[in-house]
Structure 1
Amino acid sequence: MNPHVFATRRACLLIGLAGLLHWPLSALALEPAIGSPLLTVSGNVKLTNAGRLAQFDMEMLEKLPQHSFETKTPWHKGPTKFTGPLLRDILAATGASGHTLLATAVNDYRVTIPMEDAQKHDVIVVRLTNGQPMALRDKGPLLIMYPFDQQPALRSALYFSRCIWQLRGLEVQ
């Protein structure tokens, strides 16, 4: 075989491999948050955009598939419509894996949520109540909500306690 042909083939192969190796590395990052980050996912996550963290601004949360349900809660007057991405979609967007989520509120209140809740139930990270954004004083801008009326078994103190409002962080453990 002609040595020039061999060298050309080897160079093409190396360039191709370099391109293949570059693709997965660039795929291991989320788009950067352009607006103020509202939600930070940390811990056992593979896809990040701020060092070892996955930060989401409102626009990024809006780009995820949106889901709504109406349910009654102990904290709202009458049935309320909640809209936002599913918790499991946020976790999937970060490549999260683990058994537990430690959810943290703006005031540093913390609650533990089993990861299986995100898979078994349509838990929403709420960004709209009755079609309106929530102010900080109205439990916003984000809160976790379970579909209590759609799954009556969830209507218990255990699941009510997992509905954290003024959500700012999720640590995947």
Structure 2
Amino acid sequence: MINRIMIAAVIVAGALLPLQATALDLPKGKVVLTVTGTKLDHPNVGGKAQFDMPMLEALAGRTGEMETPWTEGVVKFSGPLLRSVLEAAGAHGNKLKVIALNDYAADLPMEDATSLDTMLATRMDGKLMSVRDKGPLFLVYPFDKDQGLFNEKYFSRSVWQIKDIEVTE
């Protein structure tokens, strides 16, 4: 009898773990990014997924040293992978609209997040990026991994001073 109870408890606990692991906490600090869309599995504030900087920096990310058209010489960027942010929000769709503080926006296919190691850079050369320095978030393509991305198509998608990402069909 005790073995059956223990087995049942393990099964119930195992079933609950994925639910706990996917829940998106409420931001405790200043919101720096809001993800919206009709299909968000993990909204945390009124149907939207909002992130403060510690939430973003806790996600799986990458660091890359690269040259860009907007910086001088080789610069080290780090931050969460775009796909990690979208997974945390539980976002489903085919297109992304990335919107800057000044309302500049770029449309990109979801594949840019899922197939490439595109990051939302929060740091440049180890320092948090200020609005003056293209922060707080800068969509950086993996130019260091694939020189074929170093062209106008991806430059036009490299939004800085990001505030919102809209996920659409």
- Name 2:34's counterpart in structure 1: 40
- Counterparts of 2:86 and 2:50 in 1: how far apart (Å)? 12
Q: List aligned pairs for 1:54-73, cutoff 5 A.
A: 54-73=49-68
- Counterparts of 2:167 and 2:104 in 1: how far apart (Å)? 16
Task: Give the CA deviation at 1:35.
Answer: 0.3
- Counterparts of 1:26 and 1:78 in 2: how far apart (Å)? 43
Structure 2 letter corresponding to 1:93: A
Q: List aligned pairs for 1:111-126, cutoff 5 A.
A: 111-126=106-121
Unaligned runs of 5+ in 1: 1-15
- Name 2:3's counterpart in structure 1: none
- Name 2:158's counterpart in structure 1: 163
- Is 1:153 aligned to residue 153 of structure 2? no
- Percent identical pairs in the alignment equals 45
Bigger Cα Rg: 1
- Counterparts of 1:132 and 1:92 in 2: how far apart (Å)? 25
Q: 1:76 aligns with which of 71, 76, 88?
A: 71
Kept in 1: contact 2:61–2:84 (CA 8 A): no
- Name 2:88's counterpart in structure 1: 93
Alignment coverage as a number of residue pairs: 154
- Is 1:106 aligned to residue 96 of structure 2? no
- Is 1:51 aligned to residue 39 of structure 2? no
Seen in structure 2, the aligned counterparts of structure 1 residues 27 and 68 have a Cα distance that, compared at 3 Å, is: closer
Task: Give the CA deviation at 1:83.
Answer: 0.1
Indicate the RMSD between aligned Cα atoms, in angstroms.
1.9
- Counterparts of 2:81 and 2:20 in 1: how far apart (Å)? 25
Unaligned runs of 5+ in 2: 1-8
TM norm structure 1: 0.83
Structure 1 residues 37-81: Cα deviation after superposition (integer angstroms, max 9, x where no partner) = 100000021101101100000110111123101111110000111
Structure 1 residues 109-138: Cα deviation after superposition (integer angstroms, max 9, x where no partner) = 111011001111100100000101111111
Kept in 2: contact 1:149–1:155 (CA 8 A): no
Q: 1:30 aligns with which of 24, 33, 41?
A: 24
